[in-house]
Structure 1
């Protein structure tokens, strides 16, 4: 009986550990939502590099009523200057926070409309379907937030 209980506990802990590791994974395809208009802007694909940091690139632009997306990053600093917007790395070097579950820190995010690069932190919702992205200069209070929704 004790042996069965021990196996059950170890199995449960193993499943819990697997679900925790999965819960904090940002890899996949995300739809960015403009914080000012509420319209979808782009589809971003996030992957993890060999150092364990997350990177995200635009794989598709989504036109909204009355606006045609820019095809190149015109105001962006080198090495992004005049690069095609589709394929552009907009999320760089984001790392999982070792202290707070589902939080990611120390990244950079590029706004291809303004050309500005901001420090960023990200929070993944408990259901793994929504990213809250905060881009800021200096301190987090001086910034803007945007929501990205996981695509199927």
Structure 2
């Protein structure tokens, strides 16, 4: 049996190993940080969100081991006369989808956000993908809450520096009122 004396200086190998562990520790995700936490912080993005252009509401929910979002409501759910006589009055579809077989699916109900997982260290939902029905492209994304009622989504290609932000506001869905809108803002937009 070997006895280790306290106060003995560490050899170069052990100093290198200790330095590597200390350097790498912030980059190694914690085992308990699996993105599935049932904490209020992790569930902070669950709900209905009015997009910045105010023409759609996205519902975000937890599905299995991730957070996903789909179009719950859109201002223009049917094509108008400006879209031509062949489309006028028909349900708006995902006509820019790169897969021709999916171009006839209605936009309302379409899943736009997938793969988001909560990271308690950064207080962000990362690893997600966001589909842009305007151009049929899918981007990487991350989400963070600016406040309980304001969400910032960053879509990007490759690294998050190469992207753009959009801010959504939390709403409560209801039966359409006099103004025809099926939602009520949770707080002011500020």
| Counterpart Cα distance in 1 of 2:93 and 2:64 | 28
Q: Which residue of 2 aligns with 1:124?
A: 145
Q: TM-score, normalised by structure 2?
A: 0.58
RMSD of aligned alpha carbons: 2.1
Q: How far apart are 1:47 and its partner, in Å?
A: 0.6
Q: TM-score, normalised by structure 1?
A: 0.72
Q: Which residue of 2 aligns with 1:76?
A: 97
Q: Which residue of 2 aligns with 1:61?
A: 74
Structure 1 contact 42–59 (Cα < 8 Å) conserved: yes
| Bigger Rg, structure 1 or 2 | 2
Number of residue pairs matched by the alignment: 121
Unaligned 5+ segments in structure 1 are 1-19, 34-38
Q: Which residue of 1 aligns with 2:41?
A: 23
| Counterpart Cα distance in 2 of 1:22 and 1:55 | 17
Tell me: higher relative CO, structure 1 or 2? Use CA pairs within 8 A at least 6 residues apart: 1
Residues 25-54 of structure 1: CA deviation (Å, up to 9, x unaligned): 211111011xxxxx3120111110122x10
Unaligned 5+ segments in structure 2 are 1-37, 77-81, 84-90, 173-190
Which aligned segments of 4 or more residues in structure 1 are displaced greater than 2 angstroms? 77-82
